[in-house]
Amino acid sequence: MSSLSHFTPLLRKPFSISISVSRREFLLLLLPFCALTVHHPPIVDIPADDIFNKPLEAYETALRNHGPVIGVRRKGRLEYILGREYTKYLFADDKNLSFEEGVATVLNLRFILAIRGGKFFKDVDRLVASGMIPRIEGITNRIFPIFMKHATGLVNDGRQRGEHVDFFAHAHHSIAESMLTVVMGEQYVNDQHLSIIEDMAHDIANMTGIYQNLSYFARTFPWLWRIANWTRIIFGTLLYRYFFVLGPHIWRELRHNTFVPLSRSEKEHDSDEPLLHFMGRMFAREDGTVSVADTLWSACLVLSLIFASVHQTAVVAVWVMYELAARPSYIPAIQDELMAIVEPQADGTHHLSYESLRNARYLDSFIREVMRLKGDTLGVCRQTVQDTPMGDYVIPKGHLVIPMASLSHRSTEYHGEDAELFDGFRWVEENQPAVMVSPAYFPFGLNRWACPGRVLAVAEMKMIALTILSLAHPILEGGKYTVVDPLNITSVQPAGKLFLSPLAQPLI
């Protein structure tokens, strides 16, 4: 006959089970059971004028008074802004906070999430991480002469006309030619194709809302603006020029060739092949052919690479050059460094390899400091895919969540008591290059979705700056520039009159 008497001594003794969970995880567990007592972050009314004209002061004040998590309405949308203490959760939580959803919403590209199972961002990431970065040395060797050629032309043109130069146009054009060379090959570089690439980069910037803050109509009637803008661009530049002119070349390269699929390729990284052929190997079927659907998809991916690499890198290159011109005391050390790293060639010319650029530590430090302090406010973002605990609050599903970048980039806890002070050579001995991201510095994002192309982007910024400094001394009229869009410093270049005073003797 069974009895519980054998277990009585055990039952009389206290016992416990230790489960270690963080406060945030505990809230996640409780969330389904406490829907009636959920507290959403406070909604703070910030005047539109303050949001668009002095966002640093407006958002930081609102977070200080109502934070560390607040909701703010902007351009007809409720967004949630995080203080520095919760930024790390934004980047670490891929389950509740989606990079793809957030970027697609911000860039007015939500339709791409419904195409090919939402693989757009993953395919772009794979293209850059596997098709470009492993070949960065060969890519640098091919495109450095392009930057040198355009720098020489810009300095000579400025000398002949005696006027200020359009540095954004210079950076935009140089990077466009470089990317066309890398993606499709030198045989496709001509004035017509370059014009299409540059116009597409500019139009996509408009289509995705990068310049939306500058238009009262676009800020006040965002949906109407999107419809009008998209209609103009899709049935204009996109279809008429890109798909009808460059499209046939992409079609021929992918449909008229056979490729060894990456899964069976012994040579995954061919330094001489254009990126388009890497796409061919990436999408090749077992018989080596690329389907019609994958060919059209590849054309779309090329388009996204053009925008991301040309526009964004050109904007930051302008920031770097304007800051150099506004802080001329940094220039001699960078020019001395250039003379130490440049590689003389047998034909009497000079060359900068990727290894040379990595050794440009003074310029690298300067670039990192520019990107840290140029005034980013709302840059990287995520979107909640379900109700998400954040501190003492729960952020509802389907909303953008954005960290206040300036609170991390200028934090004394992260960067010391002089965090607000611009020190261009702060990072020379710190072993923290411009491409290294952290919760204290995330202009390229952080963790899984950190920009995979930042290695090439910083290399291009260095080539743009060094080729100019090898030929001329940049001078900014009045020693200052104007911030055109304080809310979108990340993607909109500053304005100013930049003059290039030719050196008596070119350095390279």
Would the annotation count 381 as a binding residue?
Answer: no
Alpha helices in 241-330 (DSSP H): 247-255, 275-283, 292-306, 312-326
Domain 93-376+410-502 in the same topology as domain 20-92+377-409? no
Report which residue type is found at 24: R
Instruction: Give SS3 for 271.
Output: coil
Q: What is the predicted pLDDT for the residue at 102?
A: 93
- Among 313, 302, 315, which residue's Cα sits nearest to residue 275? 302
Alpha-carbon distances of 281 from 248, 302, 304, 306, rounded to whole Å: 19, 15, 19, 20
Q: What is the predicted pLDDT for the residue at 8?
A: 39
Q: Is 202 in contact with 167 (CB distance < 8 Å)? A: no
Q: Is 306 in contact with 184 (CB distance < 8 Å)? A: no
Q: Does domain 20-92+377-409 have CATH number 3.40.50.10540?
A: no
Q: What is the predicted pLDDT for the residue at 382?
A: 96
Q: What is the predicted pLDDT for the residue at 4?
A: 40
Q: What is the predicted pLDDT for the residue at 30?
A: 55
Q: What are the boundaries of each domain within the chain?
A: 20-92+377-409, 93-376+410-502
Task: Provide the residue-wise pLDDT of the chain in tens; the chain has 508 residues.
Answer: 444 443 334 334 444 444 455 655 655 555 555 544 678 999 999 999 999 999 999 999 999 999 899 999 998 899 999 999 999 889 989 999 999 999 999 888 888 888 888 899 999 999 999 999 999 999 999 999 999 999 999 999 999 888 999 999 999 999 999 999 999 999 999 999 999 999 888 888 887 778 877 788 788 888 887 788 778 777 777 777 888 899 999 999 999 999 988 877 655 556 678 999 999 999 999 999 999 999 999 999 998 888 888 999 999 999 999 999 999 999 999 999 999 999 998 888 899 999 999 999 999 999 999 999 999 998 889 999 999 999 889 999 999 999 999 999 999 999 999 999 999 999 999 889 999 999 999 999 998 889 989 999 999 999 999 999 999 999 999 999 999 999 999 889 999 999 999 999 999 8
> What does the alpha-carbon distance between residue 395 and residue 404 come to, in Å, rounded to a whole number?
16
- Fold classification of 93-376+410-502 (topology level): Cytochrome p450 (1.10.630)
3-state helix/strand/coil string of 178-237: HHHHHHHCHHHCCHHHHHHHHHHHHHHHHHCCCCHHHCHHHHHCHHHHHHHHHHHHHHHH
What per-residue string of b and e applies to 59-82 under the rule 16 or more CB within 10 Å gives b?
bbebbeebbbbbbbebbeeebbbb
Q: What is the predicted pLDDT for the residue at 236?
A: 73
- What is the pTM (predicted TM-score) of this model? 0.88
Tell me the pairing of strands 393-395 and 350-351: unpaired
CB-side neighbour CA atoms (13 Å) of 275:
27
Q: What is the predicted pLDDT for the residue at 11?
A: 39
244: CB partners within 8 A, 6+ apart: none
